[in-house]
Structure formats: structure tokens, C-alpha cells
A = this chain, B = another copy of it.
């Protein structure tokens, strides 16, 4: 359907738990992706892109062998596949908490196991067989590692295995199953990865940079807000003392007045402490607003 003379960047989006969050983030960044039933290449409003929906587990294979130029997947599955790809950036977002997740070793809460070495000779169930094997090999602990098709936590409870290696953001699900975490194998987060030959192609490199800048800008904006307030000229120094130093404020004189208009982008997480302080120091008409992108 696309003219063969037009360059195209083949971009893989992860299916499954991260899919909706990824599509929403790309829309904020400026690319609208529409999936039609039984249309495997979702529409995107950019004729320079061809989108594929792939399992996160398989993504790095396809980026590595050039089936895709660019992909979003977890650091964990890149390592599991031992894929040779260029890491463009780390993007910390998730279905739940926008935190990094961890693969952890967990055992029954009432089991005697306290450290990984206590599992020598035991059976470990996991979806991440390769990394798990390498972890125990490096530690010199002989274990049997078995591929698990899912519901891995339940296997310890049912006595189908002795320990599991499973991914978690908050530990809640693992604790809710009555399990106890005894080691962390690896932290993971979403990564933008590119095929190495694609990175050597100037057109593709530039397109990847564009996507990365906008996607990063949209992701950053999710944890930031804009604050705007009016400040009497003589209180400006006091106010400046309270503002985080990272982002310098935009300050303008108000018309026919000694007051200044102060506008600044700050982390959403500090606002509830910052506003009372600014108010106490004399800032007035403080408004907070949402940002789509911050570059």
C-alpha cells in the first residue's frame, strides 16, 4: 500500500498488559494508533511509520534481526532473549504505578527457605527461564528451572514447585498469595530499542530521535504540572527560595503594577507541600494546570 520509494520505519508496540498504556502515551506524543479487528498492522496517522503489535517477550528478537527497526519492550525480555540491539532510552511507565518492576525469587511464606542457596536441589517455576538459570548458575546453586505457562504464584501454594521467579511492581500480588520474597534477580522497565543497522541509517536515526523526544516529553509531562501565581515584587526572593532549582521559572511583569507573574513546571508530587509554602510567603491567585508534553 505504501510506495516503495518512501522510507518507512517499522515500529513494534507491545501487546497485552502494556498495550493500552502505550497507545495512550503515543497519542499524547502525537501519533494516533487505531486497531481494526483483524487488521494486524494498526493504522497510524504518519505515513512514515508501520506499526506492528508484538508480544513483549518476542519483540527484541524481531528488532535484533531487522524484522522491526524500533520496538518497545521490557529490559527483562531483552536479556532473556540475549538480543543484540541498540537501547535508545528507558521509559518508566506501567499499567499500574509508573515504577520499575522487579523479578524476584519467592517461596511459601511458611517454608524454611530464607536465601537462594536454601533452594539447592529444588524446583523453580518461572516464565523467565533463561535469566533464572543464569542467575542460579552464576551463584553456583544447582536448581531445576521449569517453564510456567502462568498463574505462577499459585504453584508454590499448591505444592507444584518450591520457589518461583516472578515479576512484581509492588509485591502486593505475591504477598496476597502468602508468598515471601527472598531475593531480587533483576529490575526491569520498558525500553525503546532499535535495530543497529537502522541506527546507522540517517533517515531512520532522525525518525527514531523524533519519536523518542516526543514520547519522552509526553511521559515526563505525566508527573509534572504547571503552576502560575502572582507575586508582589518585594516577595519575589522569598518565593524563589521555595521553588525547586531544577526548573527556572518564567517571570513577567504585570501591567501597571509592582506584581510579577511567575510560572513554573514542577513535579506533581511536591505540589501539596509547595503550595502551602508559597501561599504563606505571599503568592496569590495560585493556579495549577495539566501539561501534555514537557520538552
Contact = CB atoms under 8 A, between A and B. Distances in A.
Contacts of A295: 275, 279, 286-287
22 contacts: A29-B272, A30-B269, A36-B172, A45-B269, A55-B150, A58-B148, A67-B160, A213-B279, A214-B276, A217-B286, A221-B287, A226-B289, A228-B250, A230-B250, A248-B285, A250-B254, A261-B263, A275-B295, A279-B295, A288-B293, A289-B289, A289-B290
Interface residues on A, range: 35 or more
A139 B251 CA distance: 62
Interface of A: 15, 29-31, 36-38, 40-41, 45-46, 52-55, 57-58, 61-62, 67, 146, 148-151, 154, 157-160, 172, 176-177, 209-210, 213-214, 217, 221, 225-226, 228, 230, 247-248, 250-257, 260-261, 263, 265, 268-269, 271-273, 275-276, 279, 285-295
A160 B62 contact: yes
A225 to B, nearest CB: 6
Given A149-B55, A255-B253, A289-B226, A275 B214 contact: yes
Contacts of A158: 40-41, 52, 54
Interface of A is mostly: mixed
A6 B151 CA distance: 30
Contact of A247 (B58, B150, B285): B285
